[in-house]
Amino acid sequence: ETGVTQTPRHLVMGMTNKKSLKCEQHLGHNAMYWYKQSAKKPLELMFVYNFKEQTENNSVPSRFSPECPNSSHLFLHLHTLQPEDSALYLCASSQAGSGQPQHFGDGTRLSIL
Amino acid sequence: SQQGEEDPQALSIQEGENATMNCSYKTSINNLQWYRQNSGRGLVHLILIRSNEREKHSGRLRVTLDTSKKSSSLLITASRAADTASYFCATDALGDSWGKLQFGAGTQVVVTP
């Protein structure tokens, strides 16, 4: 039990589909993160939310759209994705601020056909 | 941009042996963290070392930090098959108050019985 739950665990979608990834944390944290993990590459930070406000958008293409309705839930809305977007998408949460360990979900394995 | 770089990329050892991996980073930091990732799972926080600390222990883990060389090492003593995983260092840049982490590409460790 990691305290951070991601659904779905696997997703296969065509390039014209619209889907959403969901992340939920039960740890009382006030910061949430989306990362992209591709084979043989470092984790790429995509978005950061602190106290429900987006504080980071690392030049992520607009076909990825995050939503944080409250401090416990985080979504990543997907539309018109490209084959190179196939990856493991990881959600994490922490207390906001420096020196806080991040708690990760087990990710959504996304495959774009 | 990638901040941490782990070395070696892969390490294969036998049970009972020690495993050592290194991390180098480029800019000044508040702290450095190590994480473990088992295949198909999310990352798990192992240990955090602050910039004013030189060594830290947690169970069979020993972490060192040399800020003058911008490097850290993770030692796993008396390794077990269950230690088979990828290990990542992550840095928290000096002056960043939000706690954003930059990860390296990881060291893949295989422990054979």
- The CA distance from B77 to the nearest CA of chain A, in Å, is 23
Question: How high is the pLDDT of residue A2?
Answer: 55
B103 contacts on A by Cβ (under 8 Å): 42-43
**For residue B1, pLDDT beyond 50:** no
**For residue A53, pLDDT beyond 80:** no
Chain segment B52-82, per-residue pLDDT in tens: 999 999 999 999 999 999 999 999 999 999 9
B56 with B49: CB under 8 angstroms?
yes
How large is the average pLDDT for residues A47-61? Answer: 81
Nearest to A13 by CA among A66, A67, A63: A63
Question: How high is the pLDDT of residue A52?
Answer: 67
**Residue A41 — very low, low, confident or very high, per pLDDT cuts 50/70/90?**
confident
Q: Which of A23, A25, A37, A102 should be substituted to probe chain B, the one whose Cβ sees the most B Cβ atoms within 10 Å?
A: A102
Beta bridge partners of A64: A78
Beta bridge partners of B72: B23, B65
Beta bridge partners of A25: A4
